[in-house]
């Protein structure tokens, strides 16, 4: 009986901690973060164009492309494809993406296509690409927009976010922010 009472007390304590205190702490930290826990909203001329922390679909040649999404950028159903690297349908999808990228980016060799531009992220909503993935698209975007490649490389350089504290995570480029800045170059 004594063990049973100890188990009930421990269960109640853990319920209070795990179902009460922890979620409240996370909510409080979220309210103190930029965007007050709602994410970073990107606006242009007073109009909301997206959220910096959720991937957006860009497929026009005049924009830098995002990482592919297994859920077509639907934030309500974020998920990966759940297909492994030996799945024939997955490999076919990746090959199709590579072929499409090469058609839209002439002069790029097959081996120069960054893997992240042809494979979906785990969430399907990754808002960032590596600087290498942005630089490989500079020639296409510059040609379509009639801008110099040097000017676009400088724009990409200005949007490279360094790792947190200089060591945590990779350098990255937020595609939405980069494309908004690209539109402002006009």
Q: Out of 9-23, 73-87, 94-108, 133-147, pick the least confident.
A: 73-87
CA distance 67 to 95: 15
Strand, coil or helix: 180:
helix
Same domain (yes/no): 86, 154: yes
- Across the chain, mean pLDDT equals 88
Same domain (yes/no): 107, 177: yes
Whether the pLDDT of residue 16 is over 90: the answer is: yes
Same domain (yes/no): 5, 78: no
Most confident of 67-81, 112-126, 130-144, 156-170: 130-144
**pLDDT tier at 186, thresholds 50, 70, 90:** low
Whether the pLDDT of residue 170 is over 80: the answer is: yes
φ/ψ bin of 13: left (φ > 0), alpha (ψ from -120 to 50), beta (otherwise): alpha
Q: In total, how many domains does the chain have?
A: 2
Same domain (yes/no): 20, 57: no
Most confident of 40-54, 57-71, 113-127: 57-71
Same domain (yes/no): 33, 97: no
Whether the pLDDT of residue 156 is over 90: the answer is: yes
Same domain (yes/no): 77, 24: no
Q: Out of 25-29, 83-87, 138-142, pick the least confident.
A: 83-87
Whether the pLDDT of residue 112 is over 80: the answer is: yes
Q: List the helix and strand counts (H, then E) for the chain.
A: 7, 5
Same domain (yes/no): 132, 178: yes
Same domain (yes/no): 54, 140: yes
The predicted structure's pLDDT at residue 99: 94
Average pLDDT over residues 137-154: 94
Q: Which domain holds residue 180?
A: 40-184
DSSP class of residue 164 equals: B
Same domain (yes/no): 99, 130: yes
Average pLDDT over residues 20-46: 84
Same domain (yes/no): 140, 84: yes
Tell me the backbone φ, ψ of residue 44, rounded to 5 degrees. Answer: -130, 120
Report in angstroms the alpha-carbon separations of 16 from 2, 8, 21, 29.
21, 12, 6, 19
Same domain (yes/no): 118, 179: yes
Write 95-103 long-range contacts (CB < 8 A, 24+). 97/68
Q: Do residues 159 and 181 make contact, with C-beta atoms less than 8 angstroms apart?
A: yes
Same domain (yes/no): 28, 73: no
**pLDDT tier at 139, thresholds 50, 70, 90:** very high
Whether the pLDDT of residue 145 is over 80: the answer is: yes
């Amino acid at each position: 009986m004594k063990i049973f009472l100890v188990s009930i007390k421990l269960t109640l304590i853990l319920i209070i901690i795990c179902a009460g205190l922890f979620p409240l702490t996370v909510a409080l930290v979220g309210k103190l973060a930029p965007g007050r826990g709602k994410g970073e909203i990107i606006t242009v001329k007073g109009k909301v164009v997206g959220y910096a922390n959720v991937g957006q679909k860009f497929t026009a040649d005049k924009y830098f492309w995002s990482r592919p999404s297994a859920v077509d950028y639907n934030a309500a159903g974020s998920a990966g494809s759940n297909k492994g690297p030996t799945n024939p349908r997955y490999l076919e999808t990746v090959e199709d993406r590579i072929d499409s990228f090469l058609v839209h980016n002439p002069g790029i060799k097959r081996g120069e296509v960054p893997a992240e531009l042809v494979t979906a992220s785990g969430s399907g909503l990754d808002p960032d690409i590596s600087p290498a993935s942005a630089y490989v698209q500079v020639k296409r975007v510059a040609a379509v927009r009639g801008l110099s490649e040097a000017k676009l490389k400088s724009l990409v350089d200005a949007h490279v976010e360094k790792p947190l504290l200089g060591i945590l995570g990779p350098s990255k480029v937020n595609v939405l922010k980069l494309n908004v800045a690209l539109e402002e170059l006009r």
